[in-house]
Amino acid sequence: MNGNATTRHSNVALLSVASTIAPRITTSEEIDRQLQPVLSRLRLPKRLLQRVAGVQERRNWNPDQGFDDAAVSAGKRALAQAGIDPSQVGLLINTSVTRKHLEPSVAVRIHHGLGLPSSATNFDIANACLGFVNGMTLAAQLIDSGQITYAVVIDGEDADEIQTNTIDRLGREGINRTDFMSEFASLTLGSGAAAAVLGPADAHPEGHRMLGGVTRAATEFNALCVGSVDGMFTDARALLKGGMELVVSAWTEARRDWNWSNMDRYIVHQVSDVHTNALLKATGMDRSKVPLTYPTYGNVGPASIPITLAQEAPALARGNRVLLMGVGSGLNTAMMEILW
């Protein structure tokens, strides 16, 4: 039995994608200096973030900036690029992991900030780092069904608090090597925002057709990466193993319906050198076709895929085949093909 859920879209195009890059740079060298006492006490080598994760720096917001304001900024630019007036939008999906409170949704703040009409349905989708791809799939299905004409999928992330809390906690007495490594991934996180506008392909021949893709779950691994604003706690070895098994099984069974062995670009979730190298080895993807943003932006959660796509978009040519690939804690994976 095929473990993948397959989706095909008949008349949906990606009209635009835009990002907001957080302005403040926090280098891994700065974090190394803050953690020097605990690194020395635990006899851990310097430059772990650079050598193991490949993260040289990450971005953070200025004190007067918020992740939701940054998302609104990305959304306004995406709408302008697509030539779509806010009054035409029928759906807003926010996929941010970051949230200031449990309710109301983050989507209502962004809906108001974008000036969307009261008829535009709006809500949050939370599925860890996979949320943006899931949001695009759901929006595309509603466009195909004729329920809406245009949709905005949006995400804003703020890693500042978790970064500060993690560094403070790791500096306390009693922290051992196991504790340190379980929180290591928190130090790779970065802040940023992105937005995409989707609409009917037949009305927008200039758009980029969304063809469809697959999803697959391995929820037996639901406890391997658990995060909150206090910190993200990860069994890195087991998470990498389970994640690669999930991706490979989805990739292998997708061959029945899709041919993704020679895409023009692979826009993957941006995690680290370790994860990227394992993914390339497992799938046989051409490294030159996999653009990376985590070395300078860190892991920006669900925003990492659209941020990377927005950065790569100027280099894409008409007719290029692009595959979005994500894995989210839990575990879930999704792959989506776009014909540029």
Instruction: Say which amino acid occupies 91.
Output: L
Give residue-wise pLDDT tens across range 155-173.
999 999 999 999 999 999 9
Question: Which pLDDT band holds residue 275 (cuts at 50, 70, 90)?
Answer: very high
| H-type alpha helices, the chain | 28-41, 48, 67-82, 106-114, 131-145, 160-170, 177-182, 236-254, 273-283, 294-297, 304-312
Coil vs helix vs strand at 239: helix
Query: How many domains does the structure of the chain reveal?
Result: 1
Q: In the prediction, which pLDDT does 301 show? A: 96
Q: In the prediction, which pLDDT does 232 show? A: 87
- What radius of gyration do the chain's Cα atoms show? 19
How many Å apart are CA 78 and CA 117, to the nearest integer?
A: 17
Give residue-wise pLDDT tens across range 171-195.
999 999 999 999 999 999 999 999 9
Instruction: Say which amino acid occupies 307.
Output: I
In a domain, 106, yes or no: no
Q: How large is the average pLDDT for residues 80-90?
A: 98
The per-residue pLDDT of the chain, averaged, comes to 96
In a domain, 166, yes or no: no
In a domain, 116, yes or no: no
Q: How large is the average pLDDT for residues 68-76?
A: 98
Question: Which pLDDT band holds residue 19 (cuts at 50, 70, 90)?
Answer: very high
In a domain, 73, yes or no: no
In a domain, 211, yes or no: yes
Q: Cα–Cα distances in Å, from 85 out to 116, 150, 206? A: 9, 10, 17
Give residue-wise pLDDT tens across range 113-160.
999 999 999 999 999 999 999 999 999 999 999 999 999 999 999 999
Number of other residues whose CB lies within 10 A of the CB of residue 158: 27
Burial 205-221 (b: 16+ CB within 10 A, else e): eebbbbbbbbbbbbeeb
In a domain, 142, yes or no: no
Angle, helices 28-41 vs 160-170, to 10°: value is 20
Q: 259 is in which domain, residue-wise?
A: 207-339
Q: Which residues are catalytic?
A: 103, 129
Place of tokens 């306004």: 76
Instruction: Give this prediction's pTM.
Output: 0.96
Place of tokens 């995690």: 271
Dmax of the chain from CA atoms?
A: 63
Give residue-wise pLDDT tens across range 30-58.
999 999 999 999 999 989 999 999 999 99
Q: In the prediction, which pLDDT does 1 show? A: 58
Q: In the prediction, which pLDDT does 229 show? A: 81
In a domain, 62, yes or no: no
Q: CATH no. for residue 213?
A: 3.40.47.10
Whole-angstrom distance between the N-terminal and C-terminal Cα of the chain?
32
Q: How large is the average pLDDT for residues 259-285?
A: 95
In a domain, 221, yes or no: yes
How many Å apart are CA 192 and CA 105, to the nearest integer?
A: 19
